[in-house]
Amino acid sequence: MSDKKVVLITGCAKGGIGYEYCKAFAEKNCHVFASDIGSRTHELPTESNIEGLELDVSSDESVASAVSSVIAKCGKIDIVINNAGVGCPGPLVELSLDEVRKTWEVNALGQLRVIQNVVPYMAEQRSGRIVNIGMVSKTLDTLYWTYISKYWWIHIRSVVGKVATPWAGSYSTSKASVHSMTNTLRLELRPFGIQVLLVIPGVVRSNIGNAGLMKVADKEWKLYSEFKEAIAERANASQTDKSTEATLFAKHVAKKVLSSSPPREIVFGHMTTLFGLLYWSPLWFRDYFFRNRFDLNKKVSRVQEQLILELHWGLVQVSKYVFDTIFVAIDT
């Protein structure tokens, strides 16, 4: 068995942060298994120390097969990076439940599905690091990094997990569950020598913004038609000139994960300080900030009037139809 650390990373297609994670860990002389869904395996990195692997985190069979494949080749898995995730921009009340369900299935249950398949092997070897990805607006309840134990499992959560933002409710709630799951697993897996970390990215440049824009481009919102531009802006919020480069972010995470004393939480990237302050701010101030930031101060009377007009028009048509039907019946 090789002395190299065996690292399994999900969601590694080109353009995303996972792609950069693969290169960062490979540069640290790890044996990296880069994975993604079947339709995107051709976009996986091909550098030295990296092997491509098909893995769909929303499929029990796919996850089990991928984990078994890594074990068969290397006999162990030292580190898992739960990076796979999808966005779902838009107002919660107008998103279809299928869209919301898919977001939670990939972002939350997908991470747990990978964990449940890997933990038996890590428990047997009494070592492992699990990294979950969260989001900065959810997890900046602490800005301290603390040593837990010798082996780690890293969960990646986004910064919006605790400070949820408008137009990202589905994504925020899925990441909030990752935060809670990580805190639970950190305690439950410690007796087996498995350590659980949470990565909290700030605003990091990747293709998730473009993917979000594509999802909302053709959406016709009913209640929120006047907010179409604000919703699109939120979908692409991470793609600014000040966004942290994905390469820099991935190298920072790899260094922390592979260190002898990794922190419980790895907080890094543009705007993490701002979201930390917002988390500790009174709710009235936080609401005020986001109302102004995402154009939610204006009244929606025009939208309501339009809906009333449409409803009135519909009632008129129904009445006309009923009247014509009765008139025809009487006439005949």
User: What per-residue confidence (pLDDT) applies to 212?
Assistant: 61
- Mark whether 287 and 319 lie in a shared domain: no
List Cα–Cα distances, 202 to 88, 92, 107, 143, 145, in angstroms: 18, 23, 17, 13, 16
50 in a structural domain: yes
- Mark whether 287 and 310 lie in a shared domain: no
- Mark whether 328 and 238 lie in a shared domain: no
- Mark whether 222 and 306 lie in a shared domain: no
User: What per-residue confidence (pLDDT) applies to 32?
Assistant: 98
Give CA 87 to chain center in angstroms: 6
**CATH code at position 144:** 3.40.50.720
- Mark whether 208 and 261 lie in a shared domain: yes
User: What per-residue confidence (pLDDT) applies to 309?
Assistant: 57
Determine the Cα–Cα distance for residues 46 and 50; give it in Å rounded to an integer: 6
Across the chain, mean pLDDT equals 82
239 in a structural domain: yes
User: What per-residue confidence (pLDDT) applies to 292?
Assistant: 86
Average pLDDT (246-259) is 95
- Mark whether 314 and 278 lie in a shared domain: no
Domain that holds residue 23: 6-298
- Mark whether 262 and 321 lie in a shared domain: no
Per-residue pLDDT tens over the stretch 217-229: 678 888 888 888 8
Q: Is 32 helix (H, G, I), strand (E, B) or coil?
A: strand
- Mark whether 283 and 307 lie in a shared domain: no
Average pLDDT (190-196) is 97
Write the CB contacts of 290 (distance below 8 Å, at least 6 apart in sequence).
165, 166, 296
- Mark whether 218 and 324 lie in a shared domain: no
- Mark whether 249 and 330 lie in a shared domain: no
User: What per-residue confidence (pLDDT) applies to 300?
Assistant: 66
128 in a structural domain: yes
Per-residue pLDDT tens over the stretch 16-54: 999 999 999 999 999 999 999 999 999 999 999 999 999
114 in a structural domain: yes
User: What per-residue confidence (pLDDT) applies to 275?
Assistant: 78
- Mark whether 275 and 309 lie in a shared domain: no
User: What per-residue confidence (pLDDT) applies to 213?
Assistant: 62
Per-residue pLDDT tens over the stretch 228-240: 888 888 777 666 7
User: What per-residue confidence (pLDDT) applies to 30?
Assistant: 98
Q: Is 22 helix (H, G, I), strand (E, B) or coil?
A: helix
Confidence of residue 149 (pLDDT cuts 50, 70, 90): very low
Determine the Cα–Cα distance for residues 166 and 285; give it in Å rounded to an integer: 15
25 in a structural domain: yes
Per-residue pLDDT tens over the stretch 71-114: 999 999 999 999 999 988 899 999 999 999 999 999 999 999 99
Determine the Cα–Cα distance for residues 299 and 305; give it in Å rounded to an integer: 11
Low-confidence winner among 179-193, 243-257, 261-275, 305-319 (lowest mean pLDDT): 305-319
The total domain count for the chain is 2
Confidence of residue 134 (pLDDT cuts 50, 70, 90): confident
User: What per-residue confidence (pLDDT) applies to 137?
Assistant: 54
316 in a structural domain: yes
Write the CB contacts of 305 (distance below 8 Å, at least 6 apart in sequence).
none
1 in a structural domain: no
- 186-195, 283-292, 306-315: range with highest mean pLDDT: 186-195
11 in a structural domain: yes
User: What per-residue confidence (pLDDT) applies to 238?
Assistant: 67
- Mark whether 65 and 114 lie in a shared domain: yes
User: What per-residue confidence (pLDDT) applies to 158?
Assistant: 47
In this predicted model, which residue has the larger pLDDT, 277 or 123?
Answer: 123
Confidence of residue 156 (pLDDT cuts 50, 70, 90): very low
Confidence of residue 206 (pLDDT cuts 50, 70, 90): confident
- Percent of the chain surpassing pLDDT 70: 77
